[in-house]
Amino acid sequence: MSDAAGGATGVSADARPAIPRGLKLQWEAAQDAHVLLFPEGEVVLNGSAAEIMSRCDGVRTIAEIVADIERTHSLSGIAADVHGFVALALGKRWLELKP
């Protein structure tokens, strides 16, 4: 069952996503992009994905991540997009949820 903020993703706004051990987010100047490194390779992230992933520290909730991005970039109404990306990243095991 999903909450209103999580929409169809089923990821609660109170969830605390984090990059799992063994994966590393870093800037690659040669690619002019953030990449997520893992033992099997890497994923080149677009700007939006990097903004979200860089805030996934296992401490901040998704609601706090949304608020921070909206405040930093003078945006509003991005909660569904953030929830959707987090759900996708959880499915690909790029993120995990901390208690």
Mean pLDDT of 75-81: 97
Average of per-residue pLDDT across 72-97 = 97
Judge whether residue 77 has pLDDT over 60. Answer: yes
Rounded mean pLDDT of the chain? Answer: 92
The angle that helices 79-91 and 62-73 make with each other, rounded to 10 degrees, is 130
- Percent pLDDT > 90 in the chain is 88
pLDDT score recorded for residue 4 = 42
What are the distances in angstroms from CA 99 to CA 50, 58, 88?
23, 8, 19
Type of residue at 92: K
pLDDT surpassing 70 at residue 91: yes
Helix ranges (DSSP H) in the chain? 47-53, 62-73, 79-91
CA-to-CA distance for 2 and 69, rounded, in angstroms?
A: 22
| Strand pairing category for 33-38 and 24-28 | antiparallel
- Residue 2 predicted with pLDDT over 50: no
pLDDT band at 35 (very low <50, low <70, confident <90, very high): very high
Q: Which residue in 39, 68, 36 sits closest to 53, CA to CA? A: 36
